[in-house]
Every structure is written in structure tokens, then in C-alpha cells.
Structure 1
Amino acid sequence: MANQNDSFIDEVFDDLRRERLFRLYRRWGWLALLIILLIVGGVIWREYSQARDAANAREWGDAVLAAEDAGDPAAIMQVDPNGAEGRRVVAALLAAGDWAAAGGKDAAIEALRAVAGDPETDTVLHDLAELKLVMLQGRDMEPAERDEILSRLSRTGAPFELLALEQKAVALIDAGRKDDAISLIRQIQQKDGLSEGLRRRLSEMMIALGEEPEMTESTIAG
């Protein structure tokens, strides 16, 4: 008899639980369904956005390459960046490089100054534009401006620290400060992270200044 009572009580509790769950579902089921729909919708939108961005990037890259192949730097800058500021800056840097290679120094300088003078430009791209500007203008740049830019770009930990230090050595040579240039070159040669190309250029500068170059494996092998 006790077993029958226990079974009856269990059935009653089961019915009550089902009834309670049913009421909860009727009251809050729509909310659970809405949450599921929002999650699924968010995933679908993210996938769509990523695919759209990838397609836009490919379209932009193809247009830039086509303009480069046509030998028209101005056309590179006219390619629609589709709202991406970084693409506009990269296009300007590419166009400046093409102009400089083709002898259009003034146009290249104008493009680089536009990038360097834009406060919205990414820090690394801004510094790259300034470095290219210094390299392109060389001794034609105002000495004070040249020194100010290179002092900033050559600070410890800066993205183009070593290349900026190399340009500082070039500026010292242009200013007739041979001993200072030699001293700076030797300091640069002791730094970590020098590429083989930079080591070679520094050695060539030392030779041009009448000094013995730094002895490296490539120097010995060469």
C-alpha cells in the first residue's frame, strides 16, 4: 500500500512539474526563442560582414594593382578605399613611391606630406611617410625640420629607429660633420636587430668617410 501511495505522489509531483514548466514556457518561451534568434542572427551577420570586408579588400587591391600596372600613380590615389582610412594612406604611400621612381619628386613629396600632416593617420604609417619624406628630400629639406623629424623617428623603440639613425648619419655627413657621423655609425653598428642590408650600407658609409668598415661575416666572405 505504501508503494502505491508513493507512486501516486510521484505522479502528482510529475504532473505539477510539467504544469509549472508549461506555464513557464508560455510565459517566457518567447524570450528564449528571441535570444536564440539573436545569437543565430549575430553569427550570420558576422560571417556576412567578414565576407563583405574580404571582398572589398580584394576589389581595392585589384584596382590598386591595375593602376600600378598602368603606370599612373594618380590613379592609385583615386581608388575608392570604401571608408577604410588605412587603405587611403597605403595608396598614397604607393603612389609616392611610383612618382619618385618615375622622377616625379614634387608629386611624391606632396603625397607624403599629405599623409604625414593628417592627424588621423596610423602612427606607424605616419612615421613611414615622414621617413620616406626625409630620404626623398635629403639635403633639400630644411635642416631644422630634418633634424626634428629624425630625432622623433630615432627615439628608442620607435618603429623605424635604426633607419632613422642611419638617416641622421647621412644628415651629419651632409652638414660636414664627419667625426660626428663616424661616431654615430659606430653606435648604430653595435645595436641589435640590424638587417644585413643596413650593415652593408653602414660599412659603405664608413669606407666613403675613409674609415675601416665593421668586420662582419658577410664582409669577410665578400
Structure 2
Amino acid sequence: MSNTDSFIDEVTEEVQKDKLFGQLKRWGWVGGLAVLLLVGGAAYNEWRKANERQVAQEFGDQLIASLDGDDTTAALAGLKVDDAAQSAVLGHLSAAAALADGDTDAGIAALEGVQNNASVAAVYRELAAFKAALALPPETDSAEKISAFEAITGPFRPLAQEQKAMVMIQSGDTEGATDLLRTLLEAADATPGLQRRASEMIVALGADISDTDADDG
């Protein structure tokens, strides 16, 4: 390589270095800002998690104190919630306290409050609907009870179907109840315990586990 070529290469290299340093001087603050944002974001995330844990712990402590007090219903009514999950838990506990005190209307109202709160997770709302149907007074019309259990969906549907069958038995519709119980024996979402109870009820009603009339047909 000639001296001229070597000189040109050196000049070119120096020019590239100058351009690089110029770019760093001009845009280096962007990298610094990015690092600052990353560090700040991580710090904020850790602070947020710690704050959420503290809020959840404080709420849990307040719940325990309310449940250990003399007037659970009044103590729970005085609690404040910070999110939908806390609202759902408080609603279920308030309903349980009211029902334990014999105040069915207040208990059902608390459960309906959870059920109608769209911001609450579906499982809490479905459980509230099921518990509200269970809490209906004995004098409630059978058709109303059946309608309440029929409206329940999600993971509590098989249990609601079992309760519906029991209402049908109480109202004298043993044939309809037997047919419903047989469907639970084949339901994929029915637990083994539920299927065992369904079998026992079918036998107690004097019917066969399988629908022999349908088999003969």
C-alpha cells in the first residue's frame, strides 16, 4: 500500500471518529434519558407492588378485626375498599354476617350488590348469584327459586342444577327432578361428589340411575 493510500485511510478513519463523537455529543442525552426512564420505571414498579401489598395487608387486618368484633355487620359496613376485588370480598362477608344475624333481605341485597358490579371478577359475581338463590326464604314460590337457579352460569351451574332438582322434589315434580339429576351424572363439569349425590337422590326417589324408558324406546 502506498503512502498516499495509507494517508487517505487515516484521514477517513479520523473523519469517521469525528462524526461518531459528534453524534454522541448531539444525541448522547437520548441514551441517558432512556437509562433514566428504565431505572425510574423499575423503581416505580417496585414501589407500586410494595404499596399494593401494604394496602392488601391493611385491608386484611381490618377484615380480621371486624370479624372478631361484637358487631360484625356494623364493623364491615364501616370499611372502605380500594378496588373491585376488595369490594367483592367485603360484599360476600357482609352478606354472610347479615344472613347469620337472620337479616335475609340485607344478606341478599349485599350479594346482589356483588352480582351487579361489572368491575368484579366473574367468579365472584357467579358465586354471589348462587348464594343469593340459596338464601331465598323457604316461603318463596318454587317457580321463583327454580328461575333463580336456572339463571346461574359458570362453575356453579352444576350445583345450581342440583339445588333446582331439590326444589322440584319439594314441589312434587319428582319425575322432572329425576331427569335433571340424570343429566348431572353425564355432565362434564359435575364433580364426582356431586354425581354421587345425584345418584343417591335418584335411588331415594325410587328411580333407576339410567333412563330405562328411553333405552326401551
**TM tier, smaller:** 0.7 to 0.9
Cα displacement (A) at 1:186 = 1.5
User: What value does the CA root-mean-square deviation take over the aligned residues?
Assistant: 2.6
Number of corresponding residues: 209
Distance in 2 (CA, whole Å) between partners of 1:144 and 1:126 is 22
- What SS class does the counterpart of residue 155 from structure 2 fall into? coil
Cross-structure match for 1:220: none
Cα displacement (A) at 1:5 = 4.0
Cross-structure match for 2:202: 206
Q: 2:176 aligns with which of 180, 195, 214?
A: 180
Task: From the superposition, tell whether residues 105 and 173 of structure 1 become closer, same or farther in structure 2 (CA, over 3 Å).
Answer: same
Letter in 1 for 2:24: Y
Equivalent pair of 2:155/2:189 in contact (CA under 8 Å):
no
- Equivalent runs, 1:86-97 vs 2, <5 Å: 86-97=85-96
Match status 1:161 vs 2:157: yes
Distance in 2 (CA, whole Å) between partners of 1:107 and 1:12 is 88
Equivalent pair of 1:169/1:181 in contact (CA under 8 Å):
yes
Equivalent pair of 1:77/1:88 in contact (CA under 8 Å):
no
In the superposition, the TM-score normalised over structure 1's length comes to 0.80
Task: From the superposition, tell whether residues 148 and 121 of structure 1 become closer, same or farther in structure 2 (CA, over 3 Å).
Answer: farther
Letter in 1 for 2:123: V
Equivalent pair of 1:185/1:202 in contact (CA under 8 Å):
yes
Cross-structure match for 2:106: 107
State which drifts further: 53-62 or 10-19.
Answer: 10-19
Cross-structure match for 2:64: 65
Match status 1:75 vs 2:75: yes
Cα displacement (A) at 1:122 = 3.2
Equivalent pair of 1:86/1:121 in contact (CA under 8 Å):
yes
Distance in 2 (CA, whole Å) between partners of 1:144 and 1:117 is 22
Distance in 1 (CA, whole Å) between partners of 2:99 and 2:197 is 21
* Structure 2 gap segments, 5+ residues each: 211-217
- What SS class does the counterpart of residue 91 from structure 2 fall into? helix
Distance in 2 (CA, whole Å) between partners of 1:148 and 1:207 is 26
Task: From the superposition, tell whether residues 213 and 96 of structure 1 become closer, same or farther in structure 2 (CA, over 3 Å).
Answer: farther
* Structure 1 gap segments, 5+ residues each: 215-222
Cross-structure match for 2:115: 116
Cα displacement (A) at 1:135 = 0.9
Distance in 2 (CA, whole Å) between partners of 1:106 and 1:191 is 33
Equivalent pair of 2:104/2:137 in contact (CA under 8 Å):
no
- What SS class does the counterpart of residue 172 from structure 2 fall into? coil
Distance in 2 (CA, whole Å) between partners of 1:64 and 1:57 is 11
Match status 1:128 vs 2:127: yes
Letter in 1 for 2:35: I
Cross-structure match for 2:28: 29
Cα displacement (A) at 1:213 = 7.1
Equivalent pair of 1:77/1:92 in contact (CA under 8 Å):
no
Task: From the superposition, tell whether residues 119 and 194 of structure 1 become closer, same or farther in structure 2 (CA, over 3 Å).
Answer: closer
Distance in 2 (CA, whole Å) between partners of 1:112 and 1:142 is 20
Letter in 1 for 2:33: L
Equivalent pair of 2:73/2:97 in contact (CA under 8 Å):
yes
